[in-house]
């Protein structure tokens, strides 16, 4: 399994009043599931946004998967913190279909997209939810839909912002097991933020953690 490298050189990232990273130089090789931790307001989401090219650093350089964050976008799957809130009345499958080739111009003529969307929903054990409006789903179910959307485009690296937030312990463990399955079956590396202490069922070994604190990333 190939590592997904994030390389920072003298990186300065300030978002509003928050100093996310100050003069950071490091190479982060992500393999398996890595959990990004940090107190509220330390800039975890801003750091993830910088990896996606949504927040520009004030100085220094940042490369993701060997290229600039903007050029790396096709190889990264992203799951935002609050997914599925914009259009609650639209069926689940249409959210997933829209995320397949949604960046291209024009009217879609490819009828295979529905089939591809069902495949993605099957991967995240959400195929039975395909025709329900996304607004009626529980938090855990919505996370699985957002995960299916993140998987569209066959990414190498998944960046998940609080994928286990606001879930009860059973739903949290279920989704964590699902993430581990995706990592093992598809060879995906996963970087996710979380506040909870996480271990996979059947193993007391905690997941790899990195910490964001006082403008520094502790690997």
Residues interacting with other proteins, by CB under 8 A?
52-54, 70, 73, 76, 78-84, 86-87, 89-91, 93-95, 98-99, 101-108, 133, 146, 149-150, 153
**117 or 179: CB nearest other proteins:** 117
Residue 45: CB minimum distance to other proteins, A: 10
**79 or 179: CB nearest other proteins:** 79
Residue 201: CB minimum distance to other proteins, A: 29
Measured in degrees and rounded to the nearest 5, phi and psi for residue 19 equal: -85, 105
User: Burial, 9: exposed, middle or buried (Cβ in 10 Å; 0-12, 13-18, 19+)?
Assistant: middle
Please check whether residue 103 is in contact with residue 152, taking contact to mean a CB–CB distance below 8 angstroms.
Answer: no
How far apart (Å, rounded) are the C-alpha atoms in residues 158 and 31? 11
Measured in degrees and rounded to the nearest 5, phi and psi for residue 27 equal: -120, 120
Region of residue 87 (left: phi > 0; alpha: psi -120 to 50; beta: else): beta
Residue 43: CB minimum distance to other proteins, A: 15
**92 or 198: CB nearest other proteins:** 92
Residue 82: CB minimum distance to other proteins, A: 7
């Amino acid at each position: 399994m190939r590592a997904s490298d994030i390389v920072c050189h003298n990186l300065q990232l300030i978002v509003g009043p928050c100093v996310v990273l100050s003069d950071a130089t490091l190479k982060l090789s992500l393999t398996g599931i890595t959990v990004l931790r940090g107190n509220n307001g330390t800039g975890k989401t801003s750091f993830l946004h910088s990896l996606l090219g949504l927040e520009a650093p004030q100085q220094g350089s940042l490369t993701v998967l060997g290229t600039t964050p903007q050029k790396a976008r096709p190889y990264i799957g992203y799951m935002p913190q609050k997914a599925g809130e914009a259009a609650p009345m639209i069926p689940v499958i249409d959210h997933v279909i829209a995320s397949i080739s949604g960046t291209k111009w024009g009217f879609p003529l490819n009828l295979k997209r529905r089939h591809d969307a069902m495949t993605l929903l099957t991967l995240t054990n959400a195929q039975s939810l395909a025709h329900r409006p996304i607004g009626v789903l529980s938090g855990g179910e919505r996370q699985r839909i957002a995960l299916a959307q993140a998987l569209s485009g066959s990414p190498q690296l998944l960046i998940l912002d609080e994928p286990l937030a606001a879930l009860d312990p059973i739903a949290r463990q279920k989704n964590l097991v699902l993430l581990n399955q995706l990592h093992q079956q598809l060879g995906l590396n996963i970087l996710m933020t979380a506040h909870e202490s996480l271990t996979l069922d059947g193993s007391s070994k905690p997941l790899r953690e990195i910490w964001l604190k006082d403008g520094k990333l502790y690997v």
